[in-house]
Every structure is written in C-alpha cells, then in structure tokens.
Amino acid sequence: MVEGPMTTERRVTRATLANQLEDAIRIEIIEGVLTPGQRLRANDLTQRYGVSATPLREALQRLAAQSLVEIDPRLGATVSQISRTDLLDIYSLRELLECMALERSIERGDAAWEASVHRAWEAFRGQATAAVPDPARDALAWSGAHRAFHEALYGACDSPWLLRFVGTLYDHSERYRMLSVRSRRRDTTQGHEGIYRPSIERNATEAVHWLREHLANTVASLEPGLPGSGSRAADGATAVRPAS
C-alpha cells in the first residue's frame, strides 16, 4: 500500500532530530571531543547518537556549511582542521565585530543590561578563581561562564545579524581553546575586569581598548605550536595552550 503524504508531525520530528543532532555534534567539535581531522564515520555516529543515516547526513551537511566539518565525496566527512592562518582570521574578525557589538551595547544598555553584566561577571570571576579538582570539567565550566560573560556584554546590541556572526566566530575560536582542556587555564580575571568596569561605567572607548587587548593576548597564547606557526607542539599538530 502506498503511504499518504508525510504528516506535519512527522516532518517536525525529523527536522527536530536533525537539529538536535547538529547541536550535539557541534558541541563535541567545539569541546574537542571530536578532534581536527577526525573521520566522522556514519556507522560509528549512528550508533553513538542512536539515529538513522538520514538526519545524520543532514546534520553533517549543515555543519559543513558552518566550516566545522569537511565533506569529501570519496572519503566522507571529517572534522575541519585548525591552523595558524585560520586562528588569525577568526580573531581579526572577532575584534572587528565584537568591538562594534560592545559599543552598541554600552550605548543602548539599560539598568537591566547592567545588572545582567554584573551577574555574569560575578559568576565568571567565581569560576575563574575556583579550585580545580578535575581539569577537564573545570575547563568546560570555565568556558561556559566565560561565554556567558561575553554574551552579557553584548546583550543590549540591537543587531541580531551582528550577534549571530559574533556567535559563529566565537564557536570557531572556542575549538582552539578547548583542545587544551587537559592543561590548567591561566587566570584571566584582571584582563576581563578591564572590560567589565568601563562597560558598566559606560566608557565605550576604554572598554573597547581592553577588549582588543584581551583578544590579542588570547591569540598570543594560542598561536605557538599551531600548524603554520613555525614551531612544533609536544603532542603534534593540534596541541595548543589554554587561553582567555
């Protein structure tokens, strides 16, 4: 018997599954669970996530459009590689767009925005100075608090497109930091306080200055040992140091 048209419920279910799978794989790429250059074999992934090949193929195609996955017609899908050139490109664009987002957020931020920034800062500062019983778990918790602080800073920016681009670039830059989760991350509260204080005081010039310093220091910390940097890391091409 020929089946009738697919119901709306089934269409939504399939789309939702592909979305969830895309998010799950993206997180594992960003966190370094799936490493640069790693083959993404369909059989392994369908068993790992408990899904069929169709939503997996759709999820991988979406991730390829975000440059997190590379798809070769002959070899299949792999996690996108990292490089010094890519790092510098990402951070040059982050500087341009995040400084713009911060300026607009400071200009438009109200008391609720200021309170949100303050809460995010206190949470980040508490995480950054906490004891480290488990370096891997600590790195993930620190990363979440760090991202929440930056998102709060830009929370009053009135451009959804600008914030979308900022988020995409942040995802890519986070790959470099999370590859070093087994290393102790350095204390960066001083540099972040340089952004926090002038932001809530509505001094956009000083806040942007410190944001540029923060991003430049991050690049300087991540760059050694990357492919194309002219030096070799102890564990091979993908080993990097923790950053802010």
Of 121, 122, 141, which is closest to residue 131 (Cα–Cα)? 141
Give the total residue count for the chain: 244
In the chain, the number of structural domains is: 2
Q: Assign residue 236 a region (left: φ > 0; alpha: ψ between -120 and 50; beta: otherwise).
A: left
How far, in Å, CA of 239 to CA of 219, rounded?
14
Answer yes or no: is 244 within a domain.
no
Answer yes or no: is 3 within a domain.
no
| Domain range for 158 | 84-222
Query: Alpha helix locations (H) across the chain?
Result: 8-30, 42-49, 53-65, 84-108, 111-128, 135-153, 160-178, 189-200, 204-222
Cβ neighbours of residue 239 closer than 8 Å, sequence gap 6 or more: 179, 180, 225, 233
Q: 97 and 170 share a domain?
A: yes
Answer yes or no: is 132 within a domain.
yes
Give the global pTM.
Answer: 0.76
Per-residue pLDDT of the chain (244 residues; tens, 9 = 90+): 333 433 333 333 456 888 889 999 998 998 888 999 999 999 999 998 888 888 999 999 999 998 899 999 888 999 999 999 999 999 999 999 999 999 999 999 999 999 999 999 999 998 877 766 565 667 778 888 999 999 999 999 999 999 999 999 998 998 887 765 444 445 567 889 999 999 999 999 999 999 999 999 889 888 887 776 664 433 333 333 334 4
Answer yes or no: is 242 within a domain.
no
Q: 124 and 213 share a domain?
A: yes
Answer yes or no: is 231 within a domain.
no
